[in-house]
Amino acid sequence: MMIEDWEIGALFWNCLYRSDGDEEKAKLQVRQKYFEEFVNKKELFLFVGTTLKYHNIAPNPFVIIGLFYPPKSDQLHLL
């Protein structure tokens, strides 16, 4: 699925700069950030939407348009 979120894009560009232009190292750093740090410490939710350009012609017009990562909790609290 295509990612349109600016936060992931900015993270990738920063990782690419730190890895001296090596895309594979940059992708590995991004994966490490999201799969290890966020999954262990926070919940990770993706906001998904569609684009008008591909809505009626693409087999899957959905793209990731945002992220939400609240702190991880064992159970939701009842109010």
Domain positions in the chain are 2-68
- Specify whether the backbone of 64 is left (phi greater than 0), alpha (psi in -120 to 50) or beta: beta
Residue 29 pLDDT? 94
Q: Which of 12, 17, 13, 4 is nearest to 34 (CA)?
A: 12
Mean pLDDT of the chain: 86
Residue type, 28: L
Span 50-63, pLDDT tens digits:
888 777 888 888 88
Predicted model pTM: 0.70
